[in-house]
Amino acid sequence: MSLLIVGSIGLDNVRTPFGERTEVLGGSASFASLAASTFGSVQLVGVVGEDFPDSHVQMLRQRGIDTQGLQVRPGKTFRWGGYYELDMNQAHTEFTNLNVFADFDPVLPVDYRSAEYVFLANIDPRLQRQVLSQVTKPKLVILDTMNYWITSAKDELIKTLGMVDIALMNEAEVRQLTGQPSVVKGAREVLSWGPWAVIIKRGENGATLFQGDHVFSLPGFPLENIIDPTGAGDSFAGGFIGYLSELQDLSQKSLRQAIAVGSTVASISVEAFSVENIRNLHRDTIAARYDEYCRLVHFDSLALKPVLA
């Protein structure tokens, strides 16, 4: 497999009802790469400043993540600070300092250009296209985005959506992007722009896959404590594409499994701050919770007797 992941790499200050952490590893590409690295090697593209701790780079490399594409630029690393209240589905941003990320110019090392699996995490949709233009023959391209780009670069985003296979969004983003109050109709509209599948991320409430008329839905994994939801969506995406890239199969069966793997990885990730739970994530840990997930949602088909029929 060859899996390329491009996105943000940053240092986060996070406060939740369970505690706080400062200057911890964050960013969409960090979470997604670490999550995916459980399934094989990852080619990472991102930018950090000269202040980025070398220990993080070493940690990524130890997980089999290729950091050739990790640019180090004069200046400071991207920083985000925020907090969560009891409703962990809602992040409250206190500050966003783009720093070197403001001038991110994602140039792919030659080795990366033959990547078959590509995750375009949430960055400017123009940069997402710039990355795509450098990849010669991708088998699967997944795009994530956020409300910021829907507001500021909607046409660019729709253009980029036309070039990808799967779009990852949450319910509010689908509604905002399509103007459809019904997420089902919204997802269908996004499909009409090009992607062959849309995955709706629902945070604590799971995820739903729309692929043509085919729908798959998974509830959230019930957790006693959600310690830090930062990176949940990117952990999901990393687990999802990592699993598919290992499997080298895009059948409906595999997509459903991949969504369950992604949800599993996300549920493990949010039980600790930052990347603590996924920096050493073992596939046995994923497999055990995946089995619990299977049992969680299983119910038997119905044999209704025709008493009143």
Query: C-beta of 247: minimal distance to a second copy in Å?
Result: 9
Query: C-beta of 95: minimal distance to a second copy in Å?
Result: 26
Q: Choose the binding region for a second copy from 5-13, 52-60, 93-101, 253-261 (rule: CB under 8 A).
A: 253-261
Site string for a second copy, 166-185 (x = CB under 8 A): ---------------xxxxx
**Count of CA atoms in the C-beta half-sphere (13 A) of 61:** 9
# residues near a second copy by CB under 8 A: 54
Establish if 216 lies at the interface with a second copy (CB under 8 A). yes
Query: C-beta of 181: minimal distance to a second copy in Å?
Result: 5
Q: For a second copy, give the closer residue by CB, 87 or 155.
A: 87
* Dist. CA 106–CA 90, nearest whole Å: 30
Query: C-beta of 97: minimal distance to a second copy in Å?
Result: 30
Establish if 117 lies at the interface with a second copy (CB under 8 A). no
| Amino acid, single-letter form, for residue 173 | E
Give the Å distances, CA to CA, from 225 to 87, 121, 151, 298.
Answer: 12, 27, 33, 23
* Dist. CA 238–CA 31, nearest whole Å: 7
Establish if 284 lies at the interface with a second copy (CB under 8 A). yes
Establish if 105 lies at the interface with a second copy (CB under 8 A). no
Establish if 213 lies at the interface with a second copy (CB under 8 A). no
Establish if 299 lies at the interface with a second copy (CB under 8 A). yes
* Dist. CA 237–CA 227, nearest whole Å: 19
Establish if 39 lies at the interface with a second copy (CB under 8 A). yes
Establish if 15 lies at the interface with a second copy (CB under 8 A). no
Establish if 297 lies at the interface with a second copy (CB under 8 A). yes
Site string for a second copy, 260-279 (x = CB under 8 A): xx------------------
Question: Strand 10-16's sheet: what is its strand order?
Answer: 19-26, 10-16, 78-84, 91-97
Give the number of other Cβ atoms within 10 Å of residue 122's Cβ.
22
- Indicate which single residue of 22, 68, 151, 225 sits in contact with a second copy (rule: CB under 8 A): 225
The footprint of a second copy on residues 56-75 (CB under 8 A) is 64
Establish if 95 lies at the interface with a second copy (CB under 8 A). no
Establish if 206 lies at the interface with a second copy (CB under 8 A). yes
- Indicate which single residue of 61, 126, 154, 253 sits in contact with a second copy (rule: CB under 8 A): 253
- Indicate which single residue of 189, 220, 271, 279 sits in contact with a second copy (rule: CB under 8 A): 220
Q: Which residues bind a second copy (CB under 8 A)?
A: 17, 38-40, 64, 86, 181-185, 202, 205-206, 208, 215-220, 222-226, 246, 253, 256-257, 259-261, 282-284, 286-287, 290-291, 294, 296-302, 304-309
